[in-house]
Amino acid sequence: MILTLTLNPSLDRTIEIAALDRGAVIRAAAARLDPGGKGVNVSRALLANAVASRAVVPFGGDEGRQLVRLLAAEGLDMVTVPVAGPTRSNVTLAEPDGTITKINEPGTALSAGELDTIADAVLDAAHDASNGADWVVASGSLPPQVPADVYARLCRRFAGAGIHVAVDTSGPALASALGAAPALVKPNLEELSGATGMPIRRLGDVVEAAGKLRAAGARAVLASLGADGAVLVEDQGIWYGEAPVTGPRSSVGAGDAMLAGFLAGGGHGPRALARALAWGAAAVRLPGSRMPGPADIGAAGIDAAAVTVGPPDPSRLLTTSSAGTHLTQHSG
């Protein structure tokens, strides 16, 4: 069983447009509304591939009730925790060439009591799972006024109960979580650069930066690099992988699908990395934040056998690179 925790879930409205023209009236080609939040997306991807998962979801207000209805309609196994503030709404503008413009609301604060109740719900869900919980995924941005060390505190609490913890966040929340020795962190390129202060232009830079996160406490690092694939650095070795993507539609949630695939593949080693890349590549071909199932992966011609995984070439240039500034934006 894989548990997920999303402290700042959302309703995600994706609008497909021909082109973004500031100040103009733009007519949408299509629109869809999906439940959102990084942990929520991980559970949705696992559900789509018949992998046991349970999502812990705080919710509030009309938006929160709608979020819960959407998740229930998908058949998601979840534990809902009522909170005082309303759930946020996000808007994504998707252009035909794959360009994504996101507008994310900040969300509303969670009290110390609400945070304790949410943590208790995770541990209760872990104990109620028929085969126990192997992993807890703690991911996404933090709501306003929530302390930056909350993931670190949750990591220590969950690890103390014998559960592996994967953290997917950014900025101060990621920096703080490293000291709690999470079993896995999954930064993207900008988050990796922001956490280390390094400019990242080559695969060798990715490996070096991942090593710094491990030196700070993370036991394994899965660095997602967008179109450049992903790098996995752990005790057993270092691997680089990539997967072909044709006809990209939306990258929203692709990193979450990647993390779900990695954990579904066992949570370590090159086979898990191959599955992660297959799931992430299939997600990019789907509209909005829809998560891929086996049919989507097969229809895209992408499966674990088609993914290239091997030792990274340190000199290989990335198609996109980071400037090495300390970034403070939050995931999700």
Each residue's pLDDT tens digit, 140-176: 999 999 999 999 999 999 999 999 999 999 999 999 9
If you write DSSP's letter for every residue of 226-285 in order, what string do you get? GGG-EEEEETTEEEEEE----S----TTHHHHHHHHHHHTTSSHHHHHHHHHHHHHHHHT
State yes or no: pLDDT of 246 exceeds 90: no
Split at pLDDT 50, 70, 90, the class of 328 is: very low
pLDDT single digits (tens) 116-136 = 999 999 999 998 865 678 999
Q: Is this prediction's pTM over 0.85?
A: yes
pLDDT on residue 99: 87
Confidence band, pLDDT 50/70/90 cuts, at residue 250: low
Mean pLDDT over each residue of the chain, to the nearest integer: 91
Query: Using one digit for the tens of pLDDT, what is the confidence trace for 266-293?
Result: 999 999 999 999 999 888 877 766 788 8
168 is a catalytic site residue: no
Give me the domains of the chain, ranges plus CATH numbers: 2-310 (3.40.1190.20)
Going by pLDDT thresholds of 50, 70 and 90, the confidence category of residue 302 is low
Residues contacting residue 225 through CB under 8 Å, at least 6 positions apart: 188, 189, 206, 231, 318
Q: Which of 12, 168, 256, 296 is catalytic?
A: 256
Q: Using alpha carbons only, what angle is made at residue 158 by residues 155 and 161, rounded to the nearest 5 degrees? A: 145
